[in-house]
């Protein structure tokens, strides 16, 4: 199997797989939307925004963008990330300080220890940045706990900057009447839209080039069909492109044309939750 995969790479002249489903900052393609999203992440950091929201559909490139953002953080930032929230996640303080797992999450001592940590970092010249991915899974209680954390300050300075990243329903959650105090702490927010047909074509060519191949491996018509069946969601684009390259290799075609992509779709190999 490994030999077949290596032949697939060699056949198209790739040094690495161009359409892996694993987020990789090396392959990031800066669409106008992603540039806007990154600018908002930086804006939140530079203005010490209490809460910054970043939303987008599953596979829109949020995680890749976050990885790029995190790699650029300086030594004056203490980073905490929560990436595996589940629906209804509560007791967010225990996620921040795992060593407190045996304590009652409602106990004031837990909040006090978190507060002391934030203030200690501030006194050492570092600010705490907390990033929570899949934040749409957080419960009302968890969001309220996070809001209270963003209220901690030393003089006029906030000691925590919170980034909530998630699917579109996260924005709807924050707009609920019972979370109005939370919404008032949101100083920056951005929603990443899906890619339009021309952007999908540029995105495909970019990833092929980064992988070491020729940018014109996919025809324009193939890229248009890929957009039609993926709605421009990057993760789905990657999946359909990878399958199309496999089909092209199996038929010894050096270019992925529309017919190849159509064959993948007709054979039911590509599964899209959009259909």
Interval 71-112: pLDDT, tens: 999 999 999 888 877 765 556 776 676 644 445 555 667 778
CA atoms within 13 A on the CB side of 198: 2
Positive/negative CA dihedral, 180, 62, 152, 147: positive
CB–CB of 216/257 below 8 Å?
no
Q: What is the pLDDT of residue 117?
A: 86
Question: Which pLDDT score is estimated for 2?
Answer: 47
The predicted structure's pLDDT at residue 11: 93
pTM: 0.82
Q: Which residues of the chain have pLDDT under 70?
A: 1-6, 87-91, 94-95, 97-108, 274-275
Find the radius of gyration of the CA atoms of the chain: 22
Measured distance CA(248)–CA(266) in Å, rounded: 15
Taking only the tens place, the pLDDT of each residue in 33-71 is 999 999 999 999 999 999 999 999 888 889 889 988 999
CA distances from 83 to 66, 120, 143 (A): 11, 24, 15
Question: With 0-12 CB in 10 A as exposed, 13-18 as middle and 19+ as buried, what is 197?
Answer: middle
CA distance linking residue 30 with residue 203, whole number of Å:
9
The CATH number of domain 32-192, selected from 3.40.50.300, 3.30.70.260, 3.40.190.10, 3.50.50.60: 3.40.50.300
Please tell me the distance from the alpha carbon of residue 232 to that of residue 196, in angstroms, as a whole number.
6
The number of beta carbons lying within 10 Å of the beta carbon of residue 8 is 17
Nearest residue to 233 (alpha-carbon basis) of 196, 271, 179, 181: 196
Residue 240 has a pLDDT of 97
- Architecture of the 195-267 domain: Orthogonal Bundle (1.10)
Q: Which residues in the chain are classed under CATH 3.40.50.300?
A: 32-192
Integer Cα distance of 30 and 90 in angstroms: 35
- Encode the chain in three state secondary structure: CHHHHHHHHHHHCCCCCCCCCCCCHHHCCCCHHHHHHHHHHHHHHHCCCCEEEEEECCCCCHHHHHHHHHHCCCCCEEEEEECCCCCCECCHHHHHCHHHCCCCCCCHHHHHHHHHHHHHHHHCCCEEEEEECCHHHECHHHHHHHHHHHCCEECCEECEEEEEEECCHHHHHHCCHHHHHHHCCEEEEEEECCCCHHHHHHHHHHHHHHCCCCHHHECHHHHHHHHHHHCCCHHHHHHHHHHHHHHHHHCCCCCECHHHHHHHHHCCCCCCCCC
β-pairing verdict for 127-132 and 77-82: parallel
- Looking at residue 101, its pLDDT comes to 43
């Amino acid at each position: 199997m490994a030999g077949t995969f290596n032949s697939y790479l060699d056949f198209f002249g790739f040094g690495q797989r161009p359409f892996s489903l694993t987020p990789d900052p090396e392959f990031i393609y800066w669409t106008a939307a992603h540039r806007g999203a990154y600018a908002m992440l930086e804006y939140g950091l530079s203005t010490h925004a209490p809460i910054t929201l970043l939303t987008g559909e599953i596979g829109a490139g949020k995680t890749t963008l976050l990885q790029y953002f995190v790699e650029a953080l300086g030594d004056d930032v203490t980073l905490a990330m929560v990436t595996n929230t589940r629906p209804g996640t509560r007791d967010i303080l225990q996620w921040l300080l795992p060593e407190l797992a045996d304590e009652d999450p409602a106990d004031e001592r837990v909040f006090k220890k978190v507060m002391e940590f934030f203030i200690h970092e501030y006194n050492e010249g570092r600010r705490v940045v907390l990033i929570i991915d899949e934040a749409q899974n957080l419960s009302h209680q968890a969001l309220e706990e996070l809001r209270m954390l963003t209220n901690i300050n030393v003089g006029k300075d906030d000691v925590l900057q919170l980034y909530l990243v998630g699917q579109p329903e996260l924005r709807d959650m924050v707009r609920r009447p019972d979370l109005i105090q939370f919404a008032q702490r949101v100083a920056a927010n951005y929603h990443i839209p899906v890619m339009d047909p021309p952007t999908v074509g540029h995105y495909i060519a970019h990833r092929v080039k980064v992988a070491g191949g020729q940018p014109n491996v996919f025809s324009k018509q193939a890229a248009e069909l890929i957009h039609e069946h993926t709605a421009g969601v990057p993760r789905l684009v990657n999946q359909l492109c990878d399958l199309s390259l496999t089909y092209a290799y199996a038929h010894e075609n050096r270019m992925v044309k529309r017919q190849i992509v159509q064959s993948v779709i007709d054979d039911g190999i590509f599964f899209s939750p959009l259909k």
